[in-house]
Amino acid sequence: MHEIAFTIFGVSVHWYGLIIAVGIILALVLARFTAPKRGFLKEDPLEWILWIFPFAIIGARLYFLIFNGGPWGWAALAIWNGGLAVYGSIIGGALGAVVYCLVRKKNFLNVADSAVPCLALGQGIGRIGCYFGGCCYGVEVTNPSLQWFPFSVEIDGVWHYSTFFYESFFDLLICLCLFFMLKKVNNKGVVFGAYLVLYGIVRAVIEGIRGESLMLGATGIRVSQLLSIILVLVGVGVIIWRVLSQRKAVKGEIK
């Protein structure tokens, strides 16, 4: 894999980091269209990112360190060497959004509805960086007829399921689905719940064929797969709660 995109003033810029940056920028562009759907200004996402991004980076690193068993000390700060987990960034970013909403007195579900299509877009683009980083691939593919990209990818002479490509593809589909839901569904929180369900299902399936996964101690349980199932259940719960709340409000108005 060609990890280095270019070198400027002696500093190497990696494809992985560059693609992640592109994903963040495009997610912010999309947010200018999704934010007004929930009553925000087009400029508001620029403030959101200032609150959410630091929490997302810290969460992504801590998630990796905790379930990978380190490295700790000063080495824990070396994120440029890799070691960031998507789920950690989602958890950290959600915490950052909660803090923002508490400080700015905003409705979390409105912010979440506006943000999740952009989050899915950023994830979809960011996963492309895994191709250049040579990471997040699946188990070995031994059938020669299946050894072709994008179904599989060759890593150090060995073919593996290109799970990063699968996730990227489905993340972009989720982005489109949530974007159109945001235009049609006014019940706040339903779009957020749909993201939890859709992404949870996709990630739970893909984690089953990942070649490298963070494990829950010696249990053999894949942490991200377990968390994916929990997200699906939470997402279903959020959707049911919001639908029932809306029906109750409508009945109250009729009375």
Q: How do residues 204-231 score in pLDDT, each as one tens digit?
A: 999 999 887 777 766 778 888 999 999 9
- Collapse the DSSP code of 72 into the 3-class scheme (helix H, G, I; strand E, B; otherwise coil) and give the result: coil
pLDDT of amino acid 82:
64
pLDDT of amino acid 131:
83
Q: In total, how many domains does the chain have?
A: 1
* Spatial separation of the C-alpha atoms in residues 246 and 188, rounded to whole Å: 9
Q: Of the candidates 111, 133, 60, 45, which has an alpha carbon nearest to the alpha carbon of residue 90?
A: 60
Domain containing 248 equals 4-254
Number of other CB atoms surrounding residue 170 within 10 Å: 21
Per-residue confidence in pLDDT tens, the chain, 255 aa: 567 767 777 777 777 788 888 999 999 999 999 999 999 999 999 999 999 999 999 998 888 888 777 777 776 766 666 677 888 899 999 999 999 999 999 999 999 999 999 999 999 999 988 888 778 899 999 999 999 999 999 988 899 999 999 999 999 999 999 999 999 999 999 999 999 999 999 999 999 998 877 777 667 788 889 999 999 999 999 999 999 998 887 666 655
Both ends of the chain: CA-CA distance in Å?
65
* Spatial separation of the C-alpha atoms in residues 234 and 222, rounded to whole Å: 19
Sequence letter at residue 177: C
- pTM score, two decimals? 0.90
